[in-house]
Amino acid sequence: MLLLTAIALPARAATTGTVSGVVRDVQGAPQVGALVQLVNANLGVIAETFTDDQGRYRLKNVVPGVYGVKASASLFLPTLREGLRIAANSKAVVDLTLDTLYEAFRWLPAQPRQVNEPRDDWDWTLRLSANKPLLRMLQDGPLVVVTDGAGQKPELKARVTIRGGEGGFGDGGIHHDFEMERVGDNSPQLILRADLGQSDDTTFNTVVGYQKQIGLGQTLRTVAAYIDQPQIAGGPNMQGLQAMVFRTAETMTLTPAIGAEAGGETEIVHLGTTQVASHPFASVHVSAGNALVTYRISTAPGFEQAAQLDQADTLTPAVAERDGQLLMEHGLHQELSYAQSAGTFRMQMTVFHDQVDNPLVSGGGQISAADMNSGNVLYDPSTDLVEVAGAGFTGTGFLAELGDMMPDKMWLALTAGVGDALQMDGSAQRGTMQQALSGLQARETATYSAAVGGTMTRAGTEWRASYRWQQPGTLTAVDPFNENLPAPYLGLLVRQPLHCRNVLPNGLEALVDVRNLLAEGYRPFVSSDGSVLYFAQTVRAVEGGLSFTF
């Protein structure tokens, strides 16, 4: 009998695994005497031990399976690592970090992520918190900090992209993009992005970003961008657009239920003449359970919250020309929103009031010499597109948004709203560009949109499809300060990893981005010399490319 037992014990040990690691606090100090428990899917305790004088622990003879490891100590929130798969003869190393209640709340985003918000590895502002542990309630009562231990961002990574196609204003030709991001939980975060475009002229855009914790519950973020687009032309002797953009934003956690943001941008734009403008913003939000109330005030479309600090499509200044003088689109936007969530479902209602000065209107076609020399048009020869400034207007509106997560990593978002926007009559127009602009009138209009997207698990395909409708003849957006709404009309975005063993490198992706695929919403008119032009809320843009992440 003793012989059989001696034989059985080594055999059993050979089919089990071990779990070991170190328990520390957020400053990296080992925690002596912390309780470490191995738990099953129902959080039932399988085995437990205590850390030694160096914070180390070891759990032996773990039967193969999927477990969680939970650590707890006095004055700290428990920490739970889930989805730990133990195989026979394996030795898993699981290091755990214990956090105080304040530190865990500080990690939560200042504002919940929208359910229809696609994942973007390079949107570093306010997204870092989404990659850190989150709070949840255990079945046995207390709050716990939950981590998955996988998919954490590396400290340094870079991406190279080659893209081209039928882009928008100032974005034509072939582009070579380079992005580098350095992320560290206990150090400042840095980002560098450069975009070299090649068409008739060479364009160059670069962005440098920085983020740092500056105090309890306070984070400072700043970016500086330089834009050089020599192909952009205006009136006589106005050739080549250069701009410097400086943005800062500070997020503050005042209490676990109250947070605030404040910041702004300074733009210096040169095109024949030089214009300098400053556009501040601020917001405050109060949460209670699953409800969130937010008040926001901003002065420029595209930058009204810290999450938009380095978004490439908002950094290029929104400028036009009137009577030979540069104009910047700006205004005063105020909104009050109420959001309620239940599980994966989210509902939000927003009322807003806008004062919009120099709203940009896009267009294209055969630009006559008279229109080019009028001092009322900015022209991009690489795309044959123009941007002009419409008359300012004020208005009040309402927007309702619904979003939900669906099975198989899919999401759905629906919006409906009403507000003021510039409209153009459908009747034939003839005259100069300025005469056509004078015919634009601000009218109340409705808007509806639907967006769906997700990730295909096996193929790794990330995709998003959307359609946003507004009444015919509408040339500016309802709620123009809202960058979270889908682009007008039919749009599609696909990101497909490319896997071909021993042929293609890892991290290679194909990208396709389509906006207004069916070229809807165009309003044509005939200029004084017989040239056919058009205005549109957004022009069709189709881009594709390859991206390599390393």
In this structure, are residues 432 and 449 in contact, taking their beta carbons and an 8 Å threshold?
Answer: no
Average of pLDDT values for 284-297? 92
Please tell me the class of the 2-147 domain. Answer: mainly beta
**Is 289 in a helix, a strand, or coil?**
coil
Higher-confidence position of 344 and 360:
360
pLDDT of residue 154: 47
**Whole-number pLDDT of residue 341:** 86
Whether 190 has a pLDDT exceeding 60, the answer reads: yes
Q: What is the pLDDT of residues 27-65, one digit of tens each?
A: 788 898 899 999 987 788 899 999 998 899 999 999 988
Say how many C-beta atoms besides its own lie within 10 A of residue 399's C-beta. Answer: 21
Mean pLDDT of 145-150: 62
**CA-to-CA dists, residue 15 to 39, 47, 86, 298, 352, angstroms:** 19, 17, 11, 62, 64
Q: Give the rounded distance of the alpha carbon of 452 from its chain centre.
A: 16
pLDDT (0 to 100) of residue 234: 87
* Cα–Cα distance for residue pair 318/328, rounded to 1 Å: 6
Percent residues over pLDDT 70 in the chain: 83
Instruction: State the alpha helices, DSSP H only, in 389-457.
Output: 433-438
- In 216-318, at which residue ranges do the beta strands (DSSP E only) sit? 218-233, 239-255, 258-271, 273-288, 291-298
User: In the 8-state DSSP scheme, what is residue 540?
Assistant: -
> How far is 248 from 209, CA to CA, in rounded Å?
10
In percent, the amount of the chain with pLDDT more than 90 equals 31
Q: CB 258: neighbour CB atoms within 10 A?
A: 12
| Model pLDDT for residues 415-448, shown as the tens digit of each residue | 999 999 999 876 556 777 777 888 888 999 999 9
Judged by DSSP in three states, 314 sits in: helix
Residue 13 has pLDDT above 60, yes or no: no
For the chain, what is the mean pLDDT?
A: 81
pLDDT at 105 over 70: no
Helix (H, G, I), strand (E, B) or coil at 518: coil
pLDDT of 370 reads 79
Per the CB < 8 A criterion, the answer to whether 282 and 260 are in contact is yes
Q: What is the pLDDT of residue 112?
A: 44
251 has a pLDDT exceeding 70: yes
Taking CA atoms, 237 is separated from 81, 120, 324, 375, in Å, by 64, 41, 10, 10
For residue 216, the model assigns a pLDDT of 56
Let me know: does 302 contact 308? Beta carbons within 8 Å. Answer: yes
What is the per-residue pLDDT for 136?
67
| Domain(s) of CATH 2.60.40.1120: residues in the chain | 2-147
Q: Please tell me the distance from the alpha carbon of residue 138 to that of residue 159, in angstroms, as a whole number.
A: 39
The Cα–Cα gap between 483 and 322 comes to 26
The model's pLDDT over 305-340, given as tens digits with 9 standing for 90+, comes to: 887 887 777 888 899 988 888 899 999 999 999 999
